[in-house]
Structure 1
Amino acid sequence: AAVLKNLQRAEGTLVLETAVGVGNTAKLGEIISTGKQTTFLGEELGFTAKEMGQLQKAGKLEQAIDSTCESWLAKSSSEAYITAKNGGKHARLIELNEGKSVKEIQKSIKSYEKLIELHKDKIANPSKYCPGWDAMDPRRQNALINKRWPAEIQCFTEEKDILQTILEQLIES
């Protein structure tokens, strides 16, 4: 119980350290919300409160979380293709892209990259994409930030990786 309390205190401190020096209450609320999201992602990726605090002080927390997330997603790329090739999730994507040119597949890959970046920005700046974000039920906000948009990023990443594998096979043949 004491460890949990200390972890919560460290999380709160991390969020407040980010907000120091901000006079505008709306901006302060946005900083606190972003800090909580960053802390959540850091914990999900296995960072300790101490590590996050050190990275935050060095100004490298978001960069570390982004690179860890990208590394984790990259590991699953061949798995996504194998699953799809064996008739599992995204199998239809392989069927739809058989016979397409290198240029068409490259264009599709770029489209997925844009979708991934868009969804990352939705997580970082939800009020930019959801009118009435501040009035929205906090449970709905949490579901979008921590479940729906990350799940969509995962799906788009898997599909992009499948197309990347198809492209590599086309180029090799």
Structure 2
Amino acid sequence: MSTAPRRDDRDRDRDRDEEGRARNQRPRDGLGRPLPYGTQGVARQPEGVVRTPEESVAEAQALLDAGRPFHAHEVFEDAWKSGPPNERELWKGLAQLAVGLTHSARGNVRGGARLLLRGAGAVTSWRDAPGGRERPYGIDIAGLVGWAEALADLLERTRTPVDAVHHAPRLRGDTAR
């Protein structure tokens, strides 16, 4: 006879909605890592917010500057899910870049490097597209691709986590912080 708890016994103590989906209400740190219940975490990004592209870029940059790339990824994910289909690859790629930085700062340097390169690949078509798309919404695509490739190379060489604030990209290419 098995002593393993039945699935419904395990799920009873988990934070689920009426349909059984995880609510993920645990507090989280600035890099999105779950903290023990009862611990003070950072404010979560609200999900499903529809913003203008310019608002998405500005909010994501503020989060990146604050060392919160996981939260910036959620802003990009909202843009990818609510934006026009022809822009989804751009926003998805930006989200992957933010998650790549998140993993790199958390210590998963190999996974971080892979996500950075995947995100760079996703946004590259915007750099090379005719008709002025190389700076959609002021985003410096060429600069982001260069940033992602350089950071991925650093991670592969050093195998050392990075500081999310120090290595945050400048989405519009400006250097003022």
State TM-score, norm by structure 1: 0.27
More helix per residue: 1
Larger radius of gyration: 1
Q: With a CA cutoff of 8 Å and minimum separation of 6, indicate the structure with the bigger relative contact order.
A: 1
State TM-score, norm by structure 2: 0.26
